[in-house]
Structure 1
Amino acid sequence: MPSLDVNDTTLYYEDEGTGPALLFLHGWGTSGRTWGAQLPDFTRDHRVVTVDWRGCGRSARPVRGNTTSGVVSDLVALIGALRLDRPVVVGSSIGGAFATELALRRRELTGGVVPVGAPGYWPSTEAQAELVAALRRDRAGTVADWVPGWYAPGTAPALIDWTIRQILDSGVYIDEHQATADGYDPRPTLPGLQVPIHYLHGELDTAIPVEVPRTCAALTPGAGVSVIAGAGHMPHQERPERFNAVLRAVLPGMARAERMVPAARMVPAAR
């Protein structure tokens, strides 16, 4: 089993294919398995890395480090250990927030960011407090009630059930991300983002309304938004062929934008 010891934890990852690097980050409580519909396509001409971030999937479940900074630090170590050359980082839901923060904090490590259904500034204090309390009272019941709303009407029940099982199999300490989500707001820093970014979002996403990526994109120089028709919060799973086509269309523009970055902007960002 491929694993990497970083920052007092162990991360499970998969690394396949050759070519420009892509790093896929899953959402809260799931795993790198959620990108299964992307791997056969993109490993044909890209080096594709998926990782189960700390607390999730096949990675360790430590008590500490379950914060955005903790996960970003893990990603920095992963990119260095695998010698990834400025991967485009594709992140689902909170994974999109991790990808954005990685680009903001360590610009020199990132070739581009594709947030997918990313939360941006959305969660409210009241809603998050209620969610965390409910998870502590009845984790299984809360997850079973909550997750179906991530998906568009008509989604196969098997996909929803599989997502629920993944979340319940992950560690309880990842709830810290939900407890602190209401304090996350990248909008003040987005005007200074120095890597290409393109938001992909499901048209029917009720967890994070499409106004969120549009607002974030309007603040970010050169940012784009693509909306996946008929999809909810997980468009890479709900409409994989359409999602893959849009992602493929976005990647060449990111590569061109990277080549045009002035040398002065290639100086490593301060921590």
Structure 2
Amino acid sequence: MRMIQGLVRTTLVVAVRVVLLAALLIALWLGVTSAMRMLREQASPATLAPTGGRWIDAGDARIYTQAWGPTDGPLVVLVHGTGAWSGTWFELPQALASAGWRVVALDLPPFGMSERVAPALGFDYSRAAQARRVLSVIDALETGPVVLVGHSFGAGPALEAAVQSPSRLRKLVLVDPALGLGAAGEAPACTPPGPGLAWLLEPAIAPRLLRASAVSATATLPPLTGHWLGGFVHRREAVTPQRVAAYQHPFARSDFSAVLGDWAAGFAQGGCETAASLQPERLTAWARAQALPVELLWGEADTVTPIAQAKALQAWMPGARLHVLPGLGHIPHIEDPGAFSAVLREVIGAR
């Protein structure tokens, strides 16, 4: 009996020591990466922004945009995905511009160089709010109906913008859209936060500083950028040092990790929003009520948003056309820039 009690006591002591050691290592990691964050995040958007860009007033935010191509060309508006910004379209804008299109790429908050005007506390990162910002940019450009292209996370606001105001669009193009669907295309579901990063980012649980520390130890830690980016592509050779550097460019923005943590806290519960584009029955009614062409461009090898989701979207939006991109993953415009731009030019039509 004494032997058993001694064994239990020893096991408990070892377990406590392991837990304490793990806690110490986590605290040390957060401390080191937080110090790196404070040294890195010191630049203003005006300092970091590429020359020639423009900020557009969207009410609660100033949306940074970049433009290419002839000023009198028909307009294509590009909306990026998670972790990207207007500077990560790489060769695509110039390829479209050379075909006669006027191309405008915008930065959705909290990414890139766009800035909040409203306070950080309670800033609205919902899909509907992001859609209103996209529409504000379209209105400010004063060009009439546009071709709107949304990639990954950016496809949600693009689709919602089309639902809110189809008359401002001539065509909607969704590229590997990340709309919160299940692996087989199940409708978005509202689920409470569980253990893991989503739980840590929950505003009611974690203070803003802790969320910023968690983000700077993972998402915005420069040595990990190539690893994260590699998880989104099928062709790993596309993750070049030059492309990694472009994705890292906004990391130097003042307070960037904290703002990204604010966004992530809301994004983790995106399925709980009331946006019309999250509800299949409302999406179907919208698609049948208007004649806006919808095009789906999808990487055949996409494991982030499997192509099965495309079939669900086609069922919800009768008339949407699917264009499969063989051998490409979730970010086709960096995996095969030439093939992707050729397909996109064909989809949006000649000038």
TM-score, normalised relative to structure 1: 0.83
What's the CA shift for 1:146?
A: 4.3
C-alpha separation in 2, matches of 1:20 and 1:38: 16
**1:138 aligns to 2:214 (yes or no):** yes
Indicate if the aligned counterparts of 1:22 and 1:88 stay in contact, CA closer than 8 A: yes
AA matched with 1:175: A
Gaps of 5+ in 2: 1-52, 183-188, 202-210
Q: Deviations over 1:101-152 (max 9, x none)?
A: 1111111111111111112342666697544246636324543364431111
- For structure 1, which segment, 116-125 or 234-243, has the greater mean C-alpha deviation from structure 2 after superposition? 116-125
| Cα distance, 1:161–1:7 mapped onto 2, change above 3 Å | same
C-alpha separation in 1, matches of 2:321 and 2:309: 13
C-alpha separation in 2, matches of 1:115 and 1:57: 20
The one of 36, 61, 77 equivalent to 2:90 is 36
What's the CA shift for 1:164?
A: 5.6
RMSD: 2.7
Indicate if the aligned counterparts of 1:92 and 1:118 stay in contact, CA closer than 8 A: yes
Indicate if the aligned counterparts of 1:204 and 1:231 stay in contact, CA closer than 8 A: yes
Q: Deviations over 1:212-231 (max 9, x none)?
A: 12210132121111121221
- For structure 1, which segment, 60-69 or 131-140, has the greater mean C-alpha deviation from structure 2 after superposition? 131-140
What's the CA shift for 1:95?
A: 0.7
C-alpha separation in 1, matches of 2:159 and 2:167: 13
Partner of 1:190: 283
Partner of 2:17: none
Partner of 1:158: 240
| Cα distance, 1:128–1:115 mapped onto 2, change above 3 Å | farther
What's the CA shift for 1:8?
A: 2.4
Partner of 2:12: none
What's the CA shift for 1:166?
A: 5.2
AA matched with 1:132: A
**1:57 aligns to 2:140 (yes or no):** no
C-alpha separation in 2, matches of 1:153 and 1:36: 16
**1:230 aligns to 2:327 (yes or no):** yes
AA matched with 1:206: T
AA matched with 1:22: V
C-alpha separation in 1, matches of 2:112 and 2:317: 32
- The alignment-based identity, stated in percent, is 26
What's the CA shift for 1:202?
A: 1.2
| Cα distance, 1:41–1:174 mapped onto 2, change above 3 Å | same
Q: Deviations over 1:66-90 (max 9, x none)?
A: 1112111111211111113211111
Q: Deviations over 1:181-200 (max 9, x none)?
A: 23363422332223111111
- For structure 1, which segment, 35-44 or 135-144, has the greater mean C-alpha deviation from structure 2 after superposition? 135-144
The one of 79, 104, 110 equivalent to 2:169 is 110
Question: What secondary structure, in the 3-state scheme, does the structure 1 residue paired with 2:269 have?
Answer: helix
What's the CA shift for 1:59?
A: 1.1
TM-score, normalised relative to structure 2: 0.65
Gaps of 5+ in 1: 256-271
